[in-house]
Chain A
Amino acid sequence: MTTELSSSPVASSSPGARMFRQILRNRSAQMGGIMLFILIFMSYGAPLFTSKDPNKTAPSLALKPPSLVFPMGTDGIGRDNFTRFLYGGQLSLRVGLVGITIGMLIGISLGMFSGYFGGWLDSFLSWITDVLMAFPDILLALAIIAILGPGITNAMLAIGIAFVPSFMRLTRANVLTLREMTYVEAARALGASDIQVLTKHILPNSMRTLLVLITLGIGSSILAGAALNFLGLGAEPPTAEWGAMLNAGMKYVRHAWWLTVFPGAGIFLAVLSINLIGDAISDAVAGTTIMPPQK
């Protein structure tokens, strides 16, 4: 009798698994997932697709249009644009991922403490969030770059810090609702410490809503990273990176479209695929949980 019960489909599916299956069934998530997989595979498996060196110059081969030998043409000093596109993808994707991870770790921890403990710490942190949010979009990242100086590591750090306020706000809002829940009260009554309550009960339960922000955040983070690189404040030459390649290609926009169109398409497809997945996650989350109140 018991074996029959445990093997029934209802008993074996947790809400998380149900949500995951719903995302997998979503058409746009499937498209996004495939696109993202191809981009990651091509970037990190670059040596499988090309035997050329991304930084090897050959002035005699400069500005060749796309051909069988150079699928994406060559740049102003004869480097193979396809090879640079593949290696550039590694860096662009990494900037986005590292940026969002920094923002997420700091933002979620601050938001949890702020919402859980309340008091002056909460007021102070909320004030800082408001102040950071007073800087439009990329301007905060620019201000941080102005302090730290240009460079790829600083760009990642700047993007990370720029993302802290949104993570902090959402986590705080989540914690404010969750800390009043009966199971949190029960855990506390059973003698769980604040850290245990936060990490074992509150964090896992706010993960669903945070998941949406994380996925869509990776997309924005890649965009922001590419923008900083495009402005010349990130990767230094000759490092291949999509935004920086686009910036360098601007000089030849009238003669060599391939130098700007391909790296831009890389950024676009990467962000698009993540946004498609993010949309599906957002739909799935809205279907299975009650969204926390805004602000």
Chain B
Amino acid sequence: MLTYLTRRLFTSILVLFGVSILVFSVIHLVPGDVTMSILGRQKVSPERIAALREQLGLNDPLYVQYGRYVTRALQGDLGTSIRNNLPVSKSIGDQLPSTIILAVAAMIIAMSLGGVLGMAASLRQGTWFDTLVMGLSVSGLSIPTFWMGLLLILLFSVNLKLFPSISNSNSPRDLFLPALALALPEAAVVARMVRASMLDVHRKEYIITARAKGLPERLVVMKHALRNALIPVVTFAGLQMAYLLGGATIVETMFARQGIGRLAVQSIYSRDYPVVQGVVLVTAAIYVLINTLTDVTYVIVNPRIRLK
């Protein structure tokens, strides 16, 4: 167990090291002179360019710049925004909670909706209900998040006037539409997984035994089948955060909602590289962390994996 944990942790650190190199390189991979790209095509004084180069620390050798970037990032200093001169870590710190609340709300909706539909479909395998759920699921997988959000806006805010189309707080009313838009395609994945997993478990011997010893069907499903069927689904939940964090970019932009996704898109428009780098670094770090935790949980839940 300890060997596994050490090895897993080492891999994660190695990946984070790669992520930091990649994120650091963003500013250096910009074709041409990055200061020209930031300041635009208009005539700027050489002093202004020199000052910006100094601010970005571009005059030092690359390894010095990278060393400085990583040292500072580890201390929570992600540089300063070129556009508003605020520390990047402060902007991200301000916006991150909104994104996390959105992602968690979406996750809860996706898990419960997908879970219930997937389970119901597996119990009625081959019926019209099963076909309907699977049809909805393949459609859910194909719907662009932004179109989903738009249809929800048209239905719930333009026609029924129930929920606002702009989400500027974390109240349930403001959160509902963006979270639903983000959750529905994910619920489609969950429904498929739960259904497949339940059908798989239903063929297991302990289910046949449970039925043979005369347990009521309700107990067989709830106590024996569901619990075991949920193991792969719950451990998969960590990976779904990837989709949710990525999808937040679109949903936040669409509902004019605070969050690091919208911050990233706006910073790309305004070529505010330190902010782009900060958001990408933080998101990737969160993702790596979640993945590591998921893997570790999986091993704890399912000891058979350890032997591999």
A residues adjacent to B (C-beta < 8 A): 28, 127-128, 130-131, 134-139, 142-143, 145-150, 219, 223, 226-227, 230-233, 243, 246, 250, 253-254, 257, 260-261, 264-265, 267-268, 271-272, 274-276, 279
Contact = CB atoms under 8 A, between A and B. Distances in A.
Contacts of B287: 134-136
A264 B151 contact: yes
In order of increasing CB-CB distance, the 7 nearest A-B pairs are A137-B246, A131-B18, A264-B147, A136-B242, A272-B142, A271-B142, A136-B246
Interface in B126-173: 138-139, 141-147, 150-151, 153-154, 158, 165
Contact of A267 (B144, B254, B265, B291): B144
B268 interface: yes
A79 B236 CA distance: 46
Interface string B9-27: 0010011101101110010
A265 B147 CA distance: 8
Given A130-B11, A232-B269, A246 B284 contact: no
Contacts of B145: 227
Contacts of B19: 131, 134-135
Contacts of B108: none
A65 B23 CA distance: 47
B249 interface: yes
A261 B138 contact: no
Contacts of A143: 22-23, 26, 276, 280
Contact of B165 (A253, A268, A275): A253
Given A130-B15, A135-B280, A146-B273, A264 B144 contact: yes
Contacts of B11: 130
B68 to A, nearest CB: 20
B245 interface: yes
B12 to A, nearest CB: 9
A150 B267 CA distance: 12
Contacts of A28: 138
Interface stretch (B29-37, B71-79, B116-124): B29-37
A246 B147 contact: yes
B243 interface: yes
B247 interface: yes
Interface residues of B, number: 52
A157 to B, nearest CB: 12
Nearest to B11: A130
Contacts of B16: 134
B235 interface: no
A272 B18 contact: no
A279 B107 CA distance: 25
Contacts of B31: 148-149
Given A136-B242, A231-B253, A243-B146, 9 more contacts: A127-B14, A146-B268, A226-B146, A230-B250, A233-B268, A254-B158, A260-B147, A261-B151, A275-B141
B138 A279 contact: yes
Contacts of B294: none
8 contacts: A130-B11, A134-B16, A138-B246, A138-B249, A143-B23, A227-B146, A227-B250, A232-B269
Contacts of B284: 134-136, 139
A264 B152 CA distance: 13
A149 B37 contact: yes
Contacts of A226: 144, 146
Contact of A227 (B139, B144, B151, B153): B144
A243 B18 CA distance: 32
Interface string B256-288: 000000001101110001001000100110011
B268 A268 contact: no
A257 B26 contact: no
Contacts of A131: 15, 18-19, 21-22
B22 A147 contact: no
B165 A139 contact: no
A138 B265 CA distance: 11
B254 to A, nearest CB: 7
A230 B18 contact: no
Given A136-B287, A231-B253, A271-B144, A142 B154 contact: no
B7 to A, nearest CB: 13
